[in-house]
Amino acid sequence: MNTEYLTKKTVVSFFVLVLFLSGQSFLLANEPDSAYIFVYGAAKNNHHNGLHVAWSLDKQTWHPVGTEHSFVKSDYGPWGAEKKMIDPFLFRAPDGIWHCVWSLNNEDGAFGYASSTDLLTWNRQSYPLVLSTGNCLKPMIAYDDTNDVYTISWTSDKEHNQAYFVTTKDFKHYSPAKKATVFLPRTEKVALPDGQQSGTLHKVAWHTVDNVIKAQQLAAYKTKLNSERMTDDDQRFSTLKDVKATINVNQNTTRQISDLLVGIFFEDINYAADGGLYAELIQNRGFEYSPNIRKEWDNLTAWNVYDAHSKLSIDTVSPIHINNKHYVTVEASAGGGLYNEGFGGIAVRANEKYNLSLFARAPEANIANLLIRLEDANGKTIGQATIKRLTKAWKKHELTVIPTVTAENAKLVIQLQEAGKVNLDMVSLFPQNTFRNRRNGLRADLAQAIADMKPRFVRFPGGCVAHGNGIENIYHWKHTIGPLETRKPQRNLWGYHQSYGLGYFEYFQFCEDLGAEPIPVVAAGVPCQNSAHNGHPLAGQQCGIPMEEMGDYVQDILDLIEYANGDVHTVWGKKRAEAGHPEPFNLKYIGVGNEDLITDIFEERFTMIYDAIKEKYPEIHVIGTAGPFYEGTDYVEGWKLATKLHVPYMDEHYYNPPGWYIHNQDFYDKYDRSKAKVYLGEYAAHIPGRASTIETALAEALHLCNIERNGDIVAMTSYAPLLAKIGNTQWNPDLIYFDNTEVKPTVGYYVQQLFGQHAGNAYIFSDLQLNNSDDNVRKRIGKSIVRDEVSGDIIMKLVNLLPVEVDVESNISELAVDSENIDATILSGTPADKDAKPIHATVNLDDFKLKPYSLTVIRFKEKT
Ligand code: AHR
């Protein structure tokens, strides 16, 4: 072993153990009673670094706590452009509570507010809108103890530095803003090693300083652990060899675990729906693309004139349906027309049947026939059909086309047979060969890759897509059902178009086809916490559906449950039956909210929805939301609210580096079993460059082993995101990449697949002994042994995150009918490997070896 490394590591660990992890105060022999803190927000990193603290005994020599360490950050507006904390002002009230206000940007007439009892944990933030035209710069707090009133004053440079103030007793309700005659900044300037800063000065008990210092040190230590990478293993484990693990299985100590543990989260991100899982081959079939979504787009995107003489224009007069306003008018001579290029080409297979449909109208009744052809990249016709007798009114025409050859890059050409004018809309080319041969169904190969994971549930339609970028972008399920031409397309917040051809009916049907529980997610009456506010705070993340409209919104959610489960005589059950599914879909769970900012606005709306569902459908399990991280204000406040309301399930999200999964293996062992169960709705291991590699996949496998042990409290998990179309990806890594013809699963996919295919319903406890006492080694071996009561199999999953083989001895053979030549599946490679695939092998249960950097799944029949 590298002794220098060990020595450094031992010193750090000892330091950490003594100072932080014991949770005890480390008393100095000679510590002051009090000290000064200076609290400020540096402009560095465009004001994104939040609230900083420095301390001093004499107001002369200052010690910044950490380098750019943030004690609280602003959560206002979208990541990147906003979330700035400008000129924070901290005020300590007589009751000891710290109140902080700050300026959000140079535009908005709102300021940021948060409070804390200890400067370490901060309560939910609010951004009161106090001015409709001016901005709020350098906000400050003063307190009048005779009336127990706080005054917040600020200046607005949009109005020639006019000063304003509001008063409040509770930082929730504010008086209307009034103009003030003077604005006297009460901030101090302090010279710090990094330069002069402006902020507030406070005299505090020494233990406040001590706690602040320790909190920063602990945070820095955790960051260091979490950022451990396998690229450092050469050094970390340079002398490691002959690792031997002994696993003693205690078959009598078991824990019932959820049988829904591994599912999927489908979100329309990365062209996952249109151009992806939804098998439609025509892009912009309804002529509804718009520059409001992408500036280079218009209603004719993906469409082109077939010859130079043809003319295409977009009309809206008497459309097929008001939700599908635009259609194309083609004016051409005989043989002229237009073509669609699909989603980067149309891929068709020889001799397979394709349903071609379109709505057509010949306004002047002078066109008789349309010729429709599939043309390959060389302009050769590879399939065709004719539409005869166009009518003056809109009419839907349906045909079948059978390509004679396979082509990856075909286009669909529509030609007028005689000169004239025709209106066209909802032009569709759909393979008959869809997953389970559904009409308007899903791409068979992609859906099969998903089915091969054996997902126990499907969460849909988002993610951020569910709560939308601003109120007007919230996903409304009712816009996504019924005949395709009546669905109301929507801007996808990931920067493209949602036709909603894959809508709620198709989602429910897909779940049924997979044998998976449907878990729809509806917005909690608030949009995405990352919504842009376009200059008006009430239009962005801080808005909620106005309370006077919430009744209708809640009713929509109740209607969704009726659509899924109601009998055919109910209003919405009837619509499901009309769509071809009279039997209920058996909905049991519904997610309300998606990693929202937990604010008072959120709480009011979430509670309203939750109470309404509980009252009308007490059998439905509501899943609440705990923010986008595994810690922090939204996580804490989300859980507090869930505990208060007795919400039965909580959706957690985190995307962490591999080191986090290695160093937080007891994350769920600490969870209170009497509170809500966890649905880990989104997670993945992220490394710089955001690839899915053996390193990330094994970190995820390790986490899943720890989750199986906690399968009593963690009810469900889903990796995120699921799908990504190559060349149209907004987020990496994803589980399955694809193009128009190929499906390319990642290493992470195989981990999910192995855990999905080899799930169990009872966890069998065991202990692991190593011939090596280094904690770093111990933490890199994961195990989970489960019993699948349905098949009568025992499944052992072992993860080796070490660069060396591990020799395993175990008494597990006592459980097996036969302990030799047992089937094993092994996923292994080098840490950076992106192409590893599972291989099959046989092992002897008493004695086998784990490959370096591997996941091994062993399955065998249990002795009865
Ligand atoms: O999974 C991608 C995105 O990550 C989801 O839309 C959102 O919920 C999270 O921020």
DSSP string, 494-561: TTEEE--SS-HHHHHHHHHHHT-EEEEEE--SS--TT---TT-GGGTTT----HHHHHHHHHHHHHHH
DSSP string, 123-183: ---B--B--SSS--EEEEEEEETTTTEEEEEEEEGGGTTEEEEEEESSSSSBPPPEEES--
The atom of ligand 1 lying closest to the CA of 464 is: 6
Q: How far is the CA of 126 from the centre of ligand 1 (A)?
A: 23
**Mean per-residue pLDDT for 258-270?**
98
Does the beta carbon of 264 lie inside 6 Å of ligand 1?
A: no
pLDDT single digits (tens) 289-308: 999 999 999 999 999 999 99
Q: How much is the pLDDT for 9?
A: 45
Distance CA 49, CA 40 (A): 10
Q: 510 phi and psi, to 5 degrees? A: -60, -45
Q: H/E/C letters for each residue in 743-762?
A: EEECHHHHHHHHHHHCCCCE
**Mean per-residue pLDDT for 434-456?**
98
Q: Which H helix or E strand runs over 282?
A: none
Task: For residue 280, indicate whether it is catalytic.
Answer: no
Cβ–Cβ < 8 Å for 826, 781: no
Q: Which H helix or E strand runs over 609?
A: helix 600-616
Tokens of 766: 């065991």
Distance CA 374, CA 414 (A): 9
pLDDT single digits (tens) 5-27: 344 444 444 444 444 444 445 55
Does the beta carbon of 64 lie inside 6 Å of ligand 1?
A: no
Does the beta carbon of 591 lie inside 6 Å of ligand 1?
A: no
Give, in order, the Cα–Cα distances in Å from 91 to each of 98, 138, 696. Answer: 6, 13, 44
| Domains of the chain with CATH codes | 31-222 (no CATH), 239-257+761-860 (2.60.40.1180), 264-271+436-757 (3.20.20.80), 303-433 (2.60.120.260)
User: Is the confidence at residue 136, as pLDDT, over 90?
Assistant: yes
Out of 42-46, 158-162, 387-391, 654-658, give the one with best mean pLDDT.
654-658
Phi-psi region of 744 (alpha: psi -120 to 50; beta: other; left: phi over 0): beta
User: Nearest C-alpha to atom 3 of ligand 1 is from which residue?
Assistant: 463
**C-alpha angle with apex 346: 342 to 349, nearest 5 degrees?**
155
Phi-psi region of 379 (alpha: psi -120 to 50; beta: other; left: phi over 0): left
User: Nearest C-alpha to atom 9 of ligand 1 is from which residue?
Assistant: 463
Q: How much is the pLDDT for 631?
A: 97
Distance CA 279, CA 264 (A): 19
pLDDT single digits (tens) 812-855: 999 999 889 999 999 999 999 999 999 999 999 999 999 999 99
User: Is the confidence at residue 738, as pLDDT, over 90?
Assistant: yes
DSSP string, 805-836: -EEEEESGGGGBS--SSEEEEEEE--TT-S--
**C-alpha angle with apex 106: 101 to 107, nearest 5 degrees?**
105
132 vs 831, higher pLDDT: 831
Q: What is the mean pLDDT of the chain?
A: 94
Q: How confident is the model at residue 542 (pLDDT cuts 50, 70, 90)?
A: low
pLDDT single digits (tens) 59-70: 999 999 999 999
pLDDT single digits (tens) 303-352: 999 999 999 999 999 999 999 999 999 999 999 999 999 999 999 999 99
Does the beta carbon of 595 lie inside 6 Å of ligand 1?
A: yes
**Mean per-residue pLDDT for 503-515?**
98
Does the beta carbon of 731 lie inside 6 Å of ligand 1?
A: yes
Q: Which of 653, 732, 735 to mutate to test the pocket of ligand 1 (most atoms within 8 A of CB)?
A: 653
